A and B are shown apart, each in its own frame.
Chain A
Amino acid sequence: MAAWLGWKIESNWTDPFLFTIYSIVKPLAAAMILVVMYGVITNNQFGSPVFAYLFIGNAFYQYVANVMVGVSWAIVDDREHYCTLKYLYVSPISIPYYLMGRGVARVLITTFSVFIIMVVGVAFLHIPFNPAQINWPLFVLSLVIGIIMLAMLGLLLAGVTLRMAQYSFNIGDSVAGALYLFSGAIFPLEVLPAFLRPLGYIMPISYWLELIRRSLVGGVAESFPTFAAISDVNLLLILAALSVLFGVVSVWAWKKFDWEARERGLLDQTNNY
């Protein structure tokens, strides 16, 4: 139900043209900027595994931003724009469940957009993509765990948003933007100064992107040292363990922030005070 609403809200940009631009053209353009920058820096070494590494990382990173934003932005949307958050709270549905539903639409749209970008990458940019070599079970499993993990991170940010009533800034976007550099999306963690690397190592997103790369283009991932010593299964276990850990923290934080928001009367705050 919440997913239906999410779909209506996300897709109903009054105009299919705007919708296409927003969900396809914009990410595609961002990917192209990256490609051009890469081309300039490396003198068009598009066959290099480095290129495949960053292209895939960048494409799938869209899930990070979109799912986290989809889940957490619903709080701002419903509280401030639609003034419906209080009515949702008064109703019997569980808010985290509702927020997840709102995120589902984003997942669908993102999947579509990632697909298009990958097709472009394979068709025009020679990403070494061999359908026969794709490890489908690993890919699907990683993707599913990853999306659940991202939704839990979204819940954490939703809690923060709920608690921090004064500013309706898009915390999902900001966090996703910051983590882009710390999760091995476009360059291996080794490129970072040593003191920043631990951030990448504790974020499940880093392991998730590595698993996606390995399952899609096995060879590419092997040429990077970050997680080379870890087997697929172990990587999956690490991802699962970190996801559970973050999930527990998120649920706990949500409950705490939710309680505090009730305590302070923030559930229907619309920036009037």
Chain B
Amino acid sequence: MENHYAIETQSLGRVYKIRNPGKKENKTLTALEGVDLQIKPGELFGLLGPNGAGKTTLIKILTTLLAPTHGYASVAGYDVSKSPDDVRQRINMVSGGESSGYGLLTVRENLWMFAQFYGIESKEANQRIKTLLEIVGIADRANSRSSNLSTGLRQKMNIVRGFLTDPEILFLDEPTLGLDVGASRDVRSFIRRWMDDDPKRTLLLTTHYMIEADELCDRVAIINKGKVLACGTPASLKQSLQKDAIFHIDLDSPKVLVESVFSILPGVTSVKIHDNENKTIMDLVLDEESALANVIATVTSQGAQIVTLQKREPTLEDVFVKLVGQRMEEVEHADAPAS
């Protein structure tokens, strides 16, 4: 089963059974459906999607923690279902937004122990731990018990644990979730640097932050409701909107503006209106710029005034809106009751 991809999936799917004590029939939930991905060695690949999109489910399947219910997945050329041990030799994984670790052990001990599980020689391990802790800026806490660290610092420790074993393929599930702006930036630049240091390294990360996918990743797959909707470099994804004209308009409106009034106008691809601190903001995608005149006329006829109007470059958010018809935040709020 030779193949030259670091990660490959073919019509990969996962259905969860949800136990329903009251009723006879068990409900099922499709978390992932028909996912086809090919990731080459050396790529920094991003999975971008809102809460509940299936990102964690995909990572769990690829890291051998969860069996797929449909399709096939291979990591480093090994089938995750048939040869999990071969896969485990070559990967590591970190999930953000949780504080794992043996609280009784110091940061150094936690890391050292995991290095031992990967068969890294003790001296080498200590050397790497020292370097990595310095890079993420927690070297001064190396001898603190990990239970005494704040959540953010623990997460940094956890991230170090992922890089420590220098895996062929590294999986990061929302690595910056819950970190403050500065720490997130540190983590992102470290990820980039690690990838640049060795062209054979492969990294798959999930995120629901647009900038993270845009700035960091070589290629991005946009995922929603378990399906991959688009896949490509950030530039090529945005390119698909290049022929469209995108405007960001700040309005001063005495009454609530309704999207449907605008979306029926000729030439309007999509329109999103939301309020932000007494301002009304309209994000507009037009087939061609000439349609703008009509929109402005309608705004005025609704009794609203335009405060600022900017034409801007497309972002991955726009790509998401175009594919899904909703902004990522809206998708998340709609799904709020699901965990």
Seen from chain A, the residues whose Cβ lies within 8 Å of a Cβ on chain B are 1, 4-5, 8-9, 12, 14, 82-84, 86-93, 98, 259, 262-265, 267-268, 272-273
Least distance between B321 CB and chain A CB atoms (Å): 30
Return chain B residues, CB-CB under 8 Å to A93: 117
Counting from the closest, the 9 A-B pairs by CB-CB distance are A83-B100, A93-B117, A1-B116, A265-B66, A91-B117, A263-B67, A12-B104, A90-B93, A267-B65
Bound CA span A36–B15, Å:
59
- Determine whether the beta carbon of A87 is less than 8 Å from that of B102: no
A39 to B126, CA, bound (A): 58
B99 within 8 A of A: yes
Q: Which residues of B contact A259 (CB under 8 A)?
A: 67
B339 with A90: CB separation less than 8 A: no
CB-defined contacts of B119 to chain A, threshold 8 Å: 92
Complex formed: what's the CA distance from A8 to B113 in Å?
11
Q: Does B101 contact A (CB under 8 A)?
A: yes
Cβ contact within 8 Å between B98 and A92: no
Q: Which A residue's beta carbon lies closest to that of B102?
A: A82
Q: Which residues of A have CB within 8 Å of B98?
A: 83
List residues of chain A with CB within 8 A of the CB of B66: 262, 265, 267
Docked CA distance A264–B165 (Å): 28
Tell whether B325 is near chain A: CB-to-CB under 8 Å: no
Determine if A273 and B339 form an interchain contact, defined as CB atoms under 8 angstroms apart. yes
Contact of A8 among B63, B64, B105, B339 (CB under 8 A): B105
List the B side residues contacting A264 at CB < 8 Å. 17
Tell whether A8 pairs with B109 under 8 Å between CB atoms, given A84-B102, A265-B16: yes
A263-B67, A273-B339 given as contacts; is B101 within 8 A of A4 (CB)? no
B117 pairs with A82, CB closer than 8 A: no
A84 to B119, CA, bound (A): 18
Q: CB distance B89 to A92 under 8 Å?
A: yes
A-side contacts of B60, CB under 8 Å: 265, 268
Residues of B bordering A, CB below 8 Å: 16-17, 60, 63-67, 85, 88-89, 91-93, 95, 98-105, 109, 113-114, 116-119, 161, 165, 339
CA distance A86 to B100 in the complex (A): 10
Say whether A86 contacts B113, CB under 8 Å: no
Residues of A within 8 A of B116 (CB): 1
Tell me whether B65 and A89 are in contact (CB under 8 A).
Answer: yes
With A and B bound together, what is the CA distance between A267 and B98 in angstroms?
15
- B102 and A92: CB pair below 8 A? no
In the complex, what's the smallest C-beta–C-beta distance from B79 to chain A, in angstroms?
14
Whole-angstrom distance between the alpha carbons of A259 and B66 in the complex?
A: 9
Tell which of A5, A83, A90 touches B63, judged by Cβ atoms closer than 8 Å. A90
Contact of A87 with B100 at beta-carbon distance under 8 Å, contacts A92-B88, A262-B67 already known: yes
Q: Which residues of B contact A14 (CB under 8 A)?
A: 104
Kindly provide the distance from the CB of B230 to the nearest chain A CB, expressed in whole angstroms: 27
Known contacts A5-B113, A82-B101, A84-B100; is A90 also within 8 Å of B88 by CB?
yes
Q: How far is the CB of B149 from chain A (nearest CB, A)?
A: 14
* Given A1-B113, A87-B114, A88-B117, also A9-B64 (CB < 8 A): no
B113 surroundings in chain A (CB, below 8 A): 1, 4-5
Closest Cβ neighbor of A5 among chain B residues:
B113
Question: Which of A89, A91, A93 gathers the greatest number of chain B CB atoms within 10 Å?
Answer: A91
Q: Is the CB of B64 within 8 A of A89?
A: yes
Complexed CA–CA distance, A262 and B62 (Å): 12
CA distance A92 to B116 in the complex (A): 10
In the bound assembly, the distance between CA atoms of A88 and B16 in angstroms comes to 23
Report the minimal beta-carbon distance from A231 to chain B, rounded to whole angstroms.
Answer: 44
Q: What residues of chain B lie closer than 8 Å to A273, measured between beta carbons?
A: 339
Q: Which B residues are in CB contact (< 8 Å) with A90?
A: 63-65, 88, 91-93
CA distance A213 to B46 in the complex (A): 64
